């Protein structure tokens, strides 16, 4: 039988990564914050744990395992983190009475982890910190000939009684575009192992002295490097100020108008399949001044409300650039118009928005940047159909609205950044 690989896990951490994706359609009142599920793995010599550095008992071990973490990217906090490391074995050493011993180490997370993730001065890089208490359970084996056979070798300690609790605060960086996570602590302390005093239920028996000599102490270091990325995300984005634009009747010397829609968007993203589901977006009403004589002989304004018709569809595809995804969104947006005379807020309503509307077919394309949480969607050109001359728009106002905004020469550019979406 071959001896087990001599590696040892030693710590819990958390990770972050980026996300993005969604659609530009309008509806409802979404709520929440961006949360990302990240999965990473460390293997081979990616990570190192050095114990009793500088002493005759110094050991350099390469832990192997995985991490799954959920991050509230809007608040910059850790929601949860779980690590799973393979059991790790020390080299064989000489213990009391000349016995040949080796140690199996198992790590158990105690309670919940807490942590932060804040943007660094470098685009796409996040500073991360996590605090955790991890229980290091130890099983000491006796080997007769120096060969490690954990399945059959005699156990000298009970891991239910022989353990030490590690207080860890790991800090480092996460590359939101590549999914690489690196955290470390230097130094960290491995406490003394128990000898049954004062609590007889906590003891490492005859192995206590050797464990404390070989493992315990303050001069230890840990460096954990994970490769991975987001598996899914719940994204909340906001568009504020003049970050988004809609240009109607583009190039028309009289009727061209530039609007700056504001609003929010929510979507669930599966980064494995590229599916984007449960998309909900909302835009605030936009009011534009009508040109004199177009809608009526009185001062008039057109208040535009947008809502989606049916369920928007969206997909992600690789762009070829790390951390950047291409996104395509298809939706139909209903543009309903209320014409107000005399006052833009409380004026006389000249149209019924429940009947004065057009449906706009959109195929928006753009990118999502996991490094900056930015979502960009655009279509140039897109067509706004003519408004009905009868019904809710009226015989005169329908053609007037069509003259102001309808036609094929329109463009839309929507830019979102991660942010809280109010209920």
pLDDT attached to residue 191:
96
- Residues of the chain above pLDDT 70, percent: 89
Instruction: Give residue for tokens 């000898």.
Output: 195
pLDDT-derived band at 21, boundaries 50, 70, 90: very low
- Give the span between the Cα atoms of 22 and 410, in whole angstroms: 22
Kind and range of the H or E run holding 65: strand 65-72
- Give the span between the Cα atoms of 238 and 207, in whole angstroms: 59
Kind and range of the H or E run holding 306: strand 300-318
Q: What is the pLDDT of residues 312-324, one digit of tens each?
A: 889 999 999 888 9
Kind and range of the H or E run holding 211: helix 208-214
Q: What is the pLDDT of residues 348-400, one digit of tens each?
A: 888 889 999 999 999 999 998 888 888 999 999 999 999 887 767 876 788 88
- Give the span between the Cα atoms of 63 and 48, in whole angstroms: 6
Nearest-5° Cα angle at 151, 99 to 148: 45
- Give the span between the Cα atoms of 73 and 116, in whole angstroms: 10
Whose CA is closest to 69, among 133, 129, 20? Answer: 129
DSSP 8-class letter at 291 = P
- Give the span between the Cα atoms of 1 and 52, in whole angstroms: 30
Q: Per the structure block, which two tokens stand in for 359?
A: 């449906």
Q: Can you give the length of the chain in residues?
A: 423
pLDDT attached to residue 60:
82
pLDDT attached to residue 171:
95
DSSP 8-class letter at 388 = P
End-to-end CA distance of the chain: 61
pLDDT-derived band at 16, boundaries 50, 70, 90: very low
Q: How many alpha carbons lie under 13 Å from residue 159 in its C-beta half-sphere? A: 15
Assign 3-class secondary structure to 182-206: EEEEEEEEECCCCECCCCCCCECHH
pLDDT-derived band at 291, boundaries 50, 70, 90: low
Beta-bridge partners for 380: none
State yes or no: pLDDT of 201 exceeds 80: yes
Q: Are 67 and 43 in contact (CB under 8 A)?
A: no
pLDDT attached to residue 297:
60
State yes or no: pLDDT of 22 exceeds 70: no
Q: What is the pLDDT of residues 109-154, one digit of tens each?
A: 888 788 998 888 888 888 999 998 999 999 999 999 999 999 999 9
Q: What is the pLDDT of residues 42-51, one digit of tens each?
A: 998 899 989 8
Question: What Å distances lie between residue 247 and 5, 260, 302, 313, 332, CA to CA?
Answer: 64, 9, 15, 24, 18
Q: What is the pLDDT of residues 229-243, one digit of tens each?
A: 888 888 889 999 999
pLDDT attached to residue 32:
60
State yes or no: pLDDT of 24 exceeds 70: no
Beta-bridge partners for 374: 369
- Give the span between the Cα atoms of 39 and 29, in whole angstroms: 31
Instruction: Give residue for tokens 């192992």.
Output: 193
DSSP 8-class letter at 400 = H
Q: Are 105 and 41 in contact (CB under 8 A)?
A: no
- Give the span between the Cα atoms of 15 and 222, in whole angstroms: 16
Kind and range of the H or E run holding 405: helix 397-405
Q: Per the structure block, which two tokens stand in for 143?
A: 């080997």
Average pLDDT over residues 287-309: 73
């Amino acid at each position: 039988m071959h001896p087990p690989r001599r590696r040892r896990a030693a710590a819990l951490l958390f990770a972050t990564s980026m996300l993005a994706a969604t659609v530009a359609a309008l509806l409802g009142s979404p709520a929440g914050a961006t949360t990302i599920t990240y999965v990473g793995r460390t293997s081979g010599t990616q990570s190192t744990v050095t114990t009793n550095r500088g002493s005759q008992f110094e050991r350099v071990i390469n832990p192997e395992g995985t991490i799954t973490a959920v991050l509230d990217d809007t608040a910059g906090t850790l929601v949860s983190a779980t690590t799973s490391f393979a059991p790790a074995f020390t080299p064989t050493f000489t213990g009391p009475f000349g016995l040949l011993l080796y140690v199996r180490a198992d790590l158990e997370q105690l309670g919940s982890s807490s942590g932060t993730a804040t943007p660094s001065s470098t685009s796409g890089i996040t500073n991360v910190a996590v605090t955790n208490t991890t229980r290091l359970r130890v099983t000491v084996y006796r080997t007769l000939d120096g060969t490690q056979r954990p399945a059959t070798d005699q156990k000298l300690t009970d891991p239910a009684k022989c353990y030490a609790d590690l207080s860890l605060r790991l800090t480092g960086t996460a590359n939101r575009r590549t999914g690489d996570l690196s955290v470390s602590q230097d130094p960290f302390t491995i406490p003394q192992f128990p000898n049954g005093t004062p609590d007889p239920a906590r003891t490492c028996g005859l192995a206590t002295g050797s464990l404390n000599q070989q493992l315990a102490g303050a001069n230890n270091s840990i460096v954990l490097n994970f490769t991975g990325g987001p598996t899914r995300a719940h994204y909340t984005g906001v568009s504020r100020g003049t970050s988004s634009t809609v240009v109607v009747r583009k190039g028309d010397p009289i009727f061209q108008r530039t609007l700056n829609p504001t609003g929010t968007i929510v979507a669930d993203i599966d980064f494995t399949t590229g599916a984007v589901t449960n998309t909900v977006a909302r835009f605030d009403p936009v009011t534009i001044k009508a040109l004199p004589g177009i809608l009526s002989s009185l001062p008039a304004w057109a208040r535009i409300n947008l809502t989606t018709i049916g369920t928007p569809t969206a997909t992600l595809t690789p762009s070829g650039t790390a951390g950047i995804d291409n996104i395509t969104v298809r939706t139909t947006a209903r543009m309903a118009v209320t014409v107000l005379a005399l006052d833009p807020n409380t004026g006389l309503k000249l149209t019924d928005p429940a009947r004065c509307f057009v449906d706009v077919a959109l195929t928006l394309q753009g990118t999502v940047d996991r490094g900056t949480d930015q979502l960009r969607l655009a279509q140039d050109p897109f067509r706004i159909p003519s408004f009905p001359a009868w019904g809710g728009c009226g015989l005169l106002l329908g053609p007037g609205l069509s003259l102001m905004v309808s036609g094929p020469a329109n463009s839309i550019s929507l830019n979102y950044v991660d942010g809280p979406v109010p209920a």
